[in-house]
């Protein structure tokens, strides 16, 4: 992922074996600099979408771990 123009990124990763993410459950949520400049509250909206997705995959019948990482550029 190029970080040019990215203001904030949240990444959700999950898997069965600790430290080995399953690609089909990984998802990135990005806010660009332009989006943030025009609508600063978008950070909260994107954060909420990332946490909502995290909740949907927190199922011990499918996965053993879920992690969300947040970075501000």
Q: What is the pTM of this model?
A: 0.87
Give the start-to-end residue ranges of the domains of the chain.
Answer: 6-72
Among candidate residues 60, 63, 61, the one with its CA nearest the CA of residue 25: 63
Dump pLDDT digits (tens) for 17-53: 999 999 999 999 999 999 999 999 999 999 999 999 9
Alpha-carbon distance values, 21 to 37, 39, 55, 59 (Å)? 33, 32, 16, 15
């Amino acid at each position: 992922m190029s970080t040019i123009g990215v203001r904030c990124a949240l990444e959700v990763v999950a898997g069965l074996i600790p430290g080995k993410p399953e690609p089909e459950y990984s998802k990135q949520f990005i806010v660009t600099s332009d989006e943030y400049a025009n609508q600063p509250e978008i950070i909260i909206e994107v954060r909420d979408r990332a946490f909502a997705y995290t909740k949907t995959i927190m199922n011990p019948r499918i996965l053993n771990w879920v992690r969300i990482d947040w970075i501000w550029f």
